[in-house]
Structure 1
Amino acid sequence: MTDEGDAPATLMRLWRRAERPTRGRPSVLDIDRVVAAAVDLADREGIANVTLASVAKDLGVTKMSLYRHIGSKAELLELMADFAIGDPPPVESTGAWRAELTTLAEANRDVLMKHPWLVELPLTGPPAGPHAVAWMDAILRTLRDTGLDWGTKGGVLVLISGFVRLACAQAIQLAEGRQQSGLSQAQAEQAYGKGLAELIDPERFPDAVGFLTSGLGAPDQEEDPEFAFGLNVVLDGVAALIDAN
């Protein structure tokens, strides 16, 4: 068993092993309160406005008082990310791996869209906090009875997580662009298709013109069809791996 004294400080704080009871007057703060305040600030004002000073101001304390609980801004961001993603929905290894992976991918998407600043954070390494590990465990659990080896399961984990993150980043950026234009998604897509189709040469780009005039952005499209389509393609690939095993 690893000695907790050998674990990095950030890892200790992620797993809430860093704070110990002290004598005298108890602190008005703890890691959870600091991180919750930082997440709330990021949700309201964006991740660019999250600093130790701004979090301290929201909490009504001095910036220096945060250092008892948070080692640095970089560490705060790691703590915020794990706190914000929360636990995944419960899944069981029933053999219905595709349905279970779909549930987890959609739940992950909902979390990222609720906290859009999460996709702006740099990826600094594999899952390390309790919530991130819970998501990792849940995804791997759906693959338990597929016959895939650990290396392939790890590849599926990275593939699914990466797809969801990229799809959400794209959706968030497009939504910001539509907000600036004042158009709905369907209106923006229809205007894009119609305008571009009128400008480009159909002899030079025949398939692009065909696509742009095929009804892109129709109001009766299902919600987030790009995500559903992309996820199904990814899961088709996973199914091919399982069948070939």
Structure 2
Amino acid sequence: MADGRSFEDDVELLWGLRDTPRRGPRPTLTVDEIVRAAVDIADADGLAAVSMARVAERLGNAPMALYRHVRSKSELLVLMADAAMDTPPPPADGTGWRPALTAWAHDIIAMFRAHPWAATLPIAGPPVGPRNLAWFDAALGALGDTGLDPGLKVAVVMGLITYVQGEIRLTAELSAAFTDDPAPFGARYGAALARVVDPRTLPALAAVVAAGVFDVTATDFGADIAADFDFGLECFLDGVAVTIDRQG
């Protein structure tokens, strides 16, 4: 990692396993207070506004007081990435694996809408924080009665995580671009493609353009994205259903 941290360092940090110095005055802050203040700043003003000095000011402490618990801003971001996740709700009684995973995916999307800055954080590895692992466990639990072997359950959940994370990050960037200039997302896109797409070299795309698929006016970008997400999610879960039937 860029600042010399190791994977094991992050595990100790996220799970509170790091030894704290016993000498010196008693700490007046906790890691949870520091992270909560940082999340509040990011929610209000964006991730760029988060700094150790800004968090210390919000807590009424000197920056050095923070470094007793969190050694760098990069460590703070690791903690924030896990803190942005709520505790997963308990599974509803009597629901099958498909409704459970559908709800799981939508709950993840909702959390990132509440903390849009979290979509800009780099993904450094597989889930390891307490809250991230709780969501991992919830998705695996939804597959409990499917008959899939443990390895396939992990593969399904990791595939779902990849789909959801891709949607979250792509939507965050496209939403910002749409806010700046919505015109390229509508009929102008179809018109531009009609000018440059040659049916001799791009026949499949040319057929779609000729069918007028892109000749629409983008008025509700959020609704369009949500519909696309639901369609893609259903396609993914259809594949999972086939895999379950094949294993059964």
Give me the TM-score of the superposition, normalised by structure 1: 0.82
Matching residue of 2:162: 162
State whether residues 187 and 216 of structure 2, in contact with CA within 8 Å, keep that contact through their aligned partners in structure 1: no
Distance (whole Å) between structure 2 residues aligned to residue 8 and residue 58 of structure 1? 30
Aligned residue for 1:4? none
Cα deviations by residue, 1:186-228 (Å, 9 ceiling, x for unpaired): x764333453365346755232231435657476x67711110
C-alpha deviation, 1:124, in angstroms:
1.8
SS at match of 1:178: helix
Structure 2 residue matching 1:89: 3-state secondary structure: coil
Structure 1 residues 21 and 197, CA gap change in structure 2 (3 angstroms): closer
1:208-223 alignment runs, 5 A limit = 208-213=209-214, 215=216, 217=218
Query: Over residues 123-162 of structure 1, what are the superposed CA-to-partner deviations in whole Å (9 max), with x where a residue is unaligned?
Result: 2222222111110110000001111111111111111111
Q: Deviations over 1:157-201 (max 9, x none)?
A: 1111111111011111111112112x4xxx764333453365346
Structure 2 counterpart of 1:11? 11
Deviations 1:35-86 (A, max 9, x none): 0111112222322332222322322322211111112222211111111112
The answer to whether the 8 A contact 1:92-1:142 is kept is: no
Q: Quick check: 232-241 or 197-206, which moved more?
A: 197-206
How is 1:19-58 mapped onto 2 (pairs within 5 angstroms)? 26-58=26-58
Preserved contact between residue 156 and residue 238 of structure 1 (Cα < 8 Å): yes
Query: Unaligned regions of 5+ residues in structure 2, if any?
Result: 1-6, 201-205
CA 1:38–1:218: 2 relative to 1, 3 Å: closer
Alignment CA distance shift 1:46-1:241 (3 Å): same
Question: How much does 1:15 deviate?
Answer: 2.4
The change in CA–CA distance for 1:148 and 1:99 in structure 2 (over 3 A counts) is: same
Aligned match of 2:238:
236
Mapped partners of 1:70, 1:24: distance in 2: 17
Q: How many residues align?
A: 235
Correspondence 1:98 to 2:98: yes
| Counterpart residue identity of residue 243, structure 2 | L
Secondary structure of 1:56's counterpart equals helix
What is the distance in 1 between the residues matched to 2:49 and 2:169? 19
Residue pair 1:93, 1:144 contacting (<8 A) in 2 also: no
Percent identity between the two aligned chains? 36
Deviation, 1:233, is 1.1
**Structure 1: tracts of 5 or more residues without a match:** 1-6
2-structure distance, mates of 1:15, 1:153: 25
Say if 1:92 and 1:141, in contact at 8 Å, map to a contact too.
Answer: no
Matched, 1:195 2:197: no
Displacement after TM superposition at 1:27 (Å) = 3.2
Task: Measure, in 1, the Cα distance between the counterparts of 2:167 and 2:21.
Answer: 43
Question: What is the Cα deviation at residue 14 of structure 1?
Answer: 1.9
